[in-house]
Amino acid sequence: MTTHATPNLFKTELPEDEPVIIMTRTFNAPLDLLWTVWTQPEHVAYWFGPREDNEIVEYDVRKGGKWRIVSTMEDGSAVTFHGTYLEVTPKTMIRNTFVVEGMYEEDDRFFEEHNFEERDGKVFYRSVSRLESFKQRQGVIDSGMEWGANASMAKVDELLAKLLAGK
């Protein structure tokens, strides 16, 4: 298994025996607040992706609900991300599909599971992305997903700090 870890960022694991990406991280905030930041469109628009220029087209966090976010990149191009919520257990778990339109050669959909666990006033977060093949997983890694995820979570930290400070 390949593992990458950077202080205060995701620990990323790439198991050798299955095409998954596992990322873990701890947030210094209460679960209620992290859940709000994760599930409310006005907050997601701030932290999703490496830039803050996001249009939340749809964001319905419930079983069967859809999500669609269009991110404008530095060069002015737009990238569309979307999926469907397969299962939602409030403040505990979200399972969804994840698609980046036009990104991969194979089926561009994969499955994500996000788990949230409060531990001593902080939240331990674990994400598992399940891909169809090792080739698809490598495509996701090569796209800069790890860098983008770390950038997004740094913005989650910024937003949590602002909200905790009442700003």
Q: 166 lies in a domain? A: no
Q: 17 lies in a domain? A: yes
Output the pTM of the full model: 0.88
Q: 92 lies in a domain? A: yes
> How many domains does the chain divide into?
1
Calculate mean pLDDT across residues 146-159. 89
Q: 163 lies in a domain? A: no
Q: Look at 166 and 8; give whichever has higher pLDDT.
A: 166
Residues 6+ apart with CB under 8 A from 49: 69, 71, 79, 81, 148, 151, 152
pLDDT > 60? residue 105? no
Mean pLDDT of the chain: 88
Residue ranges making up the domain that contains 6: 2-158
Residue 85 near residue 61 (C-beta atoms within 8 A): yes
The sign one gets for the Cα dihedral 79, 38, 141, 83 is negative
Going by pLDDT thresholds of 50, 70 and 90, the confidence category of residue 39 is very high
Q: 142 lies in a domain? A: yes
The CATH number that applies at residue 80 is 3.30.530.20
**Alpha helices (H) along the chain:** 31-39, 41-47, 134-142, 145-164
Going by pLDDT thresholds of 50, 70 and 90, the confidence category of residue 52 is low
- Which stretch of 77-81, 103-107, 118-122 has the lowest confidence by average pLDDT? 103-107
Going by pLDDT thresholds of 50, 70 and 90, the confidence category of residue 5 is very low
Q: 34 lies in a domain? A: yes
Calculate mean pLDDT across residues 40-48. 94
Calculate mean pLDDT across residues 149-164. 92
Going by pLDDT thresholds of 50, 70 and 90, the confidence category of residue 22 is very high
Residue 8 near residue 125 (C-beta atoms within 8 A): no
